[in-house]
Amino acid sequence: MTAEQITKTEKMTGARMFIECLKKEGVDKIFGYPGGVILHIYDELYKCKEIKHYLVRHEQAAVHAAEGYARVTGKPGVVLVTSGPGACNTITGIANAYYDSYPLVVFTGQVDSKLIGNDAFQESDIVGITRTCCKHNYLVKNISELPRIIKESFHIAQTGKPGPVVVSLPKDILTSKMDFNYPEKINLPGYNPTYEGHPIQCRRALKLLCEAQRPVIISGGGVIHSSAWQEIRELAKKLNIPVATTLMGIGTFPQDDELSLGMLGMHGNYWANLAVSNCDVLFAVGTRFNDRITGCLKRFCKDAKVIHVDIDPCSISKNVHVDIPVVGDAKNVLNVILEEYNTGNYSYDKEMRTLWVKQIESWKDNRPVLAVKDAKLHPQTVIKKIYEKTKNQEAIIATEVGQHQMWTAQLYKFNKPRQLITSGGLGTMGFGFPAAIGAQIAAPEKLVIDIAGDGSFQMNIQELMTCVDYKIPVKVAVINNGYLGMVRQWQEKLFDKHYSQTPISSPDYVKLAEAYGILGLRVTEESQIDEVLDKAISHNGPVIIDFVVEPFEMVYPWVLAGKPLNEVILSNLTDNEGLGE
């Protein structure tokens, strides 16, 4: 029976009501893992043809996969797990989505209402545990609340600043019966996100941008959430303003554009860092000014006026003092600014703006040549080759967390949004592979590659079986250097090469692939890369490629934690600090 055929007077169990509510929200995919207290829901799923459930091998992977799905589609990812350990295993994934602001609705089972607080078998206070790492959470206390709570959860997850919402479902709620009535409207008096930027603030922002001689735009993840990348590009072109992106904002501005500065921050392009350090007006859109992009806060843009556009008022002036705050949805605010520029009497000093762009170009042209020519297989070479092979396919690239993540952000030229899937704020090892699975489910027609470290990949390696079961053709490129590379890099520079617990061993990835019944390949020399990548990309199924690379490579440029952005280490040969001052 479809949701449309259900009358308002038909009594149904909470479990069936749960399924019907999801249908009303247009959900057709769920990532999860069953358990005792939610078996009534799984019994209803067994009868349901409209919703496909993907059984993962660990609950953390379910949340990461749902987030990968959300990142590609822009729709909330949905997770269903049991109580106790099942619910607790979702915490890392929930926190990851919260920090990077992606919409999820995570349903967790709970013991009977009368047993809550009595240390019942597989009880955990998931509402208390997730209070600080989700946008909102609910404990359903009565079956009459269930439809309203589900509708509110989807609304909250995807409006305002997106984020995860957690719903705890006691077992007795799922077995109780009630007339089904799905609410038509949302009534949340205390929750009213501001979408329209104040017109006076928008005009002030535009006036300051036109008066600037050395402006820079920072485009963050909020530009993706609001689908405002076209507006960012139009504004940059009209006013001839260089654009830097945060890690989360990669793809919002084409990296092959002459105004692109690429990524800024700890491992960002040093000319992007110098441009931000020397600008006189900084126009930041959809970023929370994470410490990885600001460096030393006292010296961040110390001589610049700062304009900050964000839908979350709590993010404005939280870390960086803002001269002109604009609270609102990035797309709406940028459209107001563009309309004002197109219809008003605004102009800027084109000569000074041209000189500023040329100054940045000179920093790019004078960058040191760090190319290494030897017989070793270098991770940078591998990632450049992956880019060359896939740049015309609009591939989706996921990463784990570590050195390979930063090299990917630096070397793969992303020109479109929702193309890079990576963990930013939480820096979650083990994120990339299950997120790639979710992305592939969201976009089955696209090539999806997870560029992984040998440490990160092993954290959720069990999801290879999920790929096999559902014929999900994700390609995994393991940058295998035998170390927890980023931690080892810090140990080499800051801890006298005391490599404490950073050497890490791996299984034979080719044999492991064979054990799972998938294709496993290995590359040990640069001359093998093209042939192996061609074979992997053309293969109609999941693939593991083991790239055995030079173990002691370092990620440069590098701004040490707590240092200002213009104190950049460019190579292991020389510490080029204070560059550009």
Read off the pLDDT of residues 1-49 as tens digits, 9 standing for 90 and up. Answer: 454 444 455 699 999 999 999 999 999 999 999 999 999 999 999 999 9
The reported pLDDT for the residue numbered 365 is 85
Read off the pLDDT of residues 62-76 as tens digits, 9 standing for 90 and up. Answer: 999 999 999 999 999
Number of H helices, E strands in the chain: 23, 20
* Average pLDDT score, the chain: 95
Mean pLDDT of 247-263: 96
> SS3 letters for 388-445?
HHHCCCCCEEEECCCHHHHHHHHHCCCCCCCCEECCCCCCCCCCHHHHHHHHHHHCCC
What 8-state DSSP symbol labels residue 365? Answer: H
If we measure between CA atoms, which residue out of 334, 276, 293 comes closest to residue 310? Answer: 334
The reported pLDDT for the residue numbered 145 is 97
121 among known catalytic residues: yes
Residues 509-548 as b/e (b if ≥16 CB within 10 A, e otherwise) read beebbeebebbbbbbeeeeebeebbeebbeeeebbbbbbb
Mean pLDDT of 528-547: 98
Residue 259 CA to residue 242 CA, distance in Å, equals 5
Candidates 151, 161, 171, 475; catalytic one:
171
Candidates 121, 237, 497, 581; catalytic one:
121
Q: Are 182 and 21 in contact (CB under 8 A)?
A: yes
Q: Which residue has the higher pLDDT, 418 or 574?
A: 418
Residue 328 CA to residue 305 CA, distance in Å, equals 20
pLDDT-derived band at 576, boundaries 50, 70, 90: very low
Read off the pLDDT of residues 375-397 as tens digits, 9 standing for 90 and up. Answer: 799 999 999 999 999 999 999 99
The reported pLDDT for the residue numbered 558 is 95
What 8-state DSSP symbol labels residue 2? Answer: -
Residue 406 CA to residue 514 CA, distance in Å, equals 30
If we measure between CA atoms, which residue out of 78, 23, 77, 83 comes closest to residue 47? Answer: 23
Mean pLDDT of 165-183: 97
Residue 23 CA to residue 7 CA, distance in Å, equals 15
The reported pLDDT for the residue numbered 493 is 94
Residue 198, burial from CB neighbour count under 10 angstroms (0-12, 13-18, 19+): middle
Domains (ranges, CATH) in the chain?
Answer: 3-179 (3.40.50.970), 199-365 (3.40.50.1220), 379-548 (3.40.50.970)
pTM: 0.95
Residue 362 CA to residue 351 CA, distance in Å, equals 16
122 among known catalytic residues: yes
Read off the pLDDT of residues 401-429 as tens digits, 9 standing for 90 and up. Answer: 999 999 999 999 999 999 999 999 999 99
Residue 539 CA to residue 558 CA, distance in Å, equals 37
Q: Are 279 and 215 in contact (CB under 8 A)?
A: yes
Residue corresponding to tokens 């240390």: 119
Candidates 486, 547, 553, 567; catalytic one:
486
CA distances from 461 to 73, 478, 488, 510 (A): 24, 11, 22, 13
Q: Are 549 and 524 in contact (CB under 8 A)?
A: no
17 among known catalytic residues: no
The reported pLDDT for the residue numbered 371 is 53
Residue corresponding to tokens 């020519």: 373
Q: Are 546 and 278 in contact (CB under 8 A)?
A: no
Half-sphere exposure of 524 (CA within 13 A, CB side): 1
Candidates 20, 44, 59, 567; catalytic one:
59
Residue corresponding to tokens 């047993």: 115
If we measure between CA atoms, which residue out of 130, 133, 137, 170 comes closest to residue 153? Answer: 137
Q: pLDDT at residue 573 above 90? A: no
